A and B are shown apart, each in its own frame.
Chain A
Amino acid sequence: MTNYYGFYTLLLREIWRFLKVSIQTILTPVITVLLYLLIFSSVISSSRQMLPGVNYLTFLIPGLIVMAMLQNAFANSSSSLFQSRLNGNVIFVLLAPISDFEIFAAFVGAAVGRGIMVGAGVWLASCYFAMVPIKHPVYAGIFALLCTSSLGALGLVSAIIADKWDHISAFQNFVIVPFSFLSGVFFSIQDLPPFWQQASRFNPFFYFVDGFRYCCLGVSEIEVGTSLKVGLLFFLLSSVWALGLLRKGYNLRT
């Protein structure tokens, strides 16, 4: 027995929530990313070849789209669930006949929704700077789904583990932001010193960025199949973590 309508309502609630504050949740992140675009594209010569036949601006845009999706998917589930916990209104969901998996799917679904909306906003706005093609739209969609749902799941994890807002922002600023900055959004990891080149291979965000870039441009630093596998594995691990915490009732049910 699955409570489909209950799941659908919770998903709707989560999407409705971020749309009610869309200036903060959609518009602001798009503008922030555009500022990166503006700054980096004017500082770094556009004629520079990043990958065969790819100039800097065209290289940068897909990376920025992924970064925006990652950060906003995480921000959505983490802040929504944590605020509900802090306010106490999370009990209205906990009292309802909605399973752990349905809760997980609804929160992750909304994180995917917000991540993709922001990503699409960045892509649209970036057309003003450079038209970036999407050569493999289906795979691009898969990568977008994988990266937003993984980060949505991680957002749930941090919202469940955290005891105060400080912890959420620490996770965001000391894990999500550095990992996304160091994932080859702004540079090719081949330009890095050997140590950091190796280190980047342990950064799951790198595979999302590189894989998505391949879907847009048809060229990438590593083989796209590898990126897809790593992305899937990362999604599975974060989901298992989030579901495990939900099942245990950690910090939610005593």
Chain B
Amino acid sequence: MDAVRIENLSKNYDSLKALDGVDLTIAEGAFFALLGPNGAGKSTLINILAGLTRATSGQAAVLGHDVRKEWRQARYKLGVVPQELAYDPFFTVREMLTLQSGYFGLGDRNRAWIDELLGTLGLEEKADTTMNHLSGGMKRRVLIAQALVHCPPVVILDEPTAGVDVALREQLWEFILDLNRKGHTIILTTHYLEEAENMCEKIAILDRGKLVANASKDKLLSRYTWRQLRLQLLPESGLSLPAGLVDKQEAAPVGELLLRLHREDDHIGEVLAALEQAGIRFSDLRIHEPGLTEVYTELTGGRVHND
């Protein structure tokens, strides 16, 4: 059974196509990243799964339950950590969690789980505080607890680490990884590409409402076929490149040489030998293998997202 199955999903806002015929399946137990620039349609997609937005056409299902036809079952299966730090100003953290658990039909017997969540997320001391007295990081933890209160098998985190300091970010990742190890399917969006690269085994990239990539991380990374060779030149080094390498040179600071090499066609050993022969002397070399950033930039047309 797929945790999420999306077929030909589209959403139009007047003339704007927020989602344009997206097909996507996410396997049960996956750790999945959904990336894309602002306005790419990530939130629209998440909101359709959560029932906050209604698709113009196409289907979406959570663990086999169509989000429109079997909306109740779909919502029982899904936990969503929203991007905005929304909270109910009238209630304390524990009261909010108890209410949220009640909305899912869970009464007193869920109290132990709520206590456990408060414990694991380090919220015990704040359990009887109202949300407006909590810091941003604490609010984020409460949102996570709230999304997990009914122990959903599929968890969506929309920008879980936005505006969170480094220490808390590490804690949150540890917690999320642990959830995944316990069998929860994790779907997250993030603007921190290195996080997605480090954490997620499957990555999809949305751009202007279309899915431009959906593959395992390794496959995605291997799509980018270039790497960079950077040489720290010695003062006595010659400066004229051998003919075969001239078109591979990229702009670099004085005293450095930067070459853009093809992963398979350009052998590092041969390149170095050719440089040696041309009288180029260097003190140090570094090879930069492409990361998700390069792949992402290429796939999304190099547009910078500004958050």
> Taking beta carbons and an 8 Å cutoff, which residues of A are in contact with B?
1, 3-6, 8-10, 12-13, 16-17, 20-21, 83-84, 87-89, 91-99, 249, 253-254
Question: Can you list 21 A-B pairs with a CB-CB distance of less than 8 A?
Answer: A6-B105, A9-B99, A12-B99, A12-B102, A13-B102, A17-B90, A87-B87, A88-B86, A89-B88, A89-B89, A91-B86, A92-B86, A94-B52, A95-B51, A95-B80, A96-B100, A97-B75, A97-B103, A249-B54, A253-B53, A254-B47
Q: Given A254-B47, A254-B53, are A5 and B87 also a contact pair (CB < 8 Å)?
A: no
Give the chain A neighbours of B73 by CB distance below 8 A.
Answer: 97
B97 CB to nearest chain A CB (Å): 10
B104 within 8 A of A: yes
Nearest chain A CB to B99 CB, angstrom units: 5
B84 contacts the other chain (CB 8 A):
yes
Q: Considering the complex, which residues of chain B in the window 65-115 have a beta carbon less than 8 Å from any beta carbon of chain A? A: 71-73, 75-76, 78, 80, 82, 84, 86-91, 99-100, 102-107
Measured CB to CB, the closest approach of chain A to B273, in angstroms, equals: 61
Q: B51–A92 contact, CB under 8 A?
A: no
In angstroms, how far is the closest chain B Cβ from the Cβ of A91? 6
The docked-state distance in angstroms from the alpha carbon of A12 to that of B99 is 9
Q: Is the CB of B54 within 8 A of A254?
A: yes
| Chain A proximity of B88: nearest CB distance (Å) | 4
A89, B102: Cβ atoms closer than 8 Å: no
Q: What is the CA–CA distance of A9 and B88 in the complex, to the nearest angstrom?
A: 15
* A-side contacts of B86, CB under 8 Å: 87-89, 91-92
**Cβ-closest chain B residue relative to A99:** B72
Q: Besides the contacts A5-B105, A88-B86, A89-B87, what 19 more A-B pairs have beta carbons closer than 8 Å?
A: A3-B103, A5-B107, A6-B102, A6-B104, A6-B105, A8-B102, A9-B102, A10-B102, A83-B89, A88-B84, A89-B86, A89-B89, A94-B51, A95-B50, A97-B76, A97-B103, A97-B105, A249-B54, A254-B47
Q: Which residues of B contact A (CB under 8 A)?
A: 13, 47, 50-54, 71-73, 75-76, 78, 80, 82, 84, 86-91, 99-100, 102-107, 146
Q: Which residues of B contact A16 (CB under 8 A)?
A: 90-91
Residues of the A chain whose Cβ atoms lie less than 8 Å from the Cβ of B53: 253-254
With a cutoff of 8 Å between Cβ atoms, the chain B residues found around residue A13 in the complex are: 91, 99, 102
Residue among A1, A83, A96, A254 with most chain B CB within 10 A: A96
Tell whether, in the assembled complex, residue B54 and residue A10 are in contact, meaning their CB atoms are under 8 Å apart: no
Contact A1 B72 (CB under 8 A): yes
Contacts of B104 in A (CB 8 A): 6, 96-97
Identify the closest chain A residue to B103 (Cβ): A96
Q: Do B75 and A95 touch (CB < 8 A)?
A: yes
> With A and B bound together, what is the CA distance between A88 and B82 in angstroms?
10
Quick one: which of A13, A87, A97 has the most chain B CB within 10 A?
A97
Given contacts A92-B146, A95-B51, A97-B76, contact A87 B100 (CB under 8 A): no
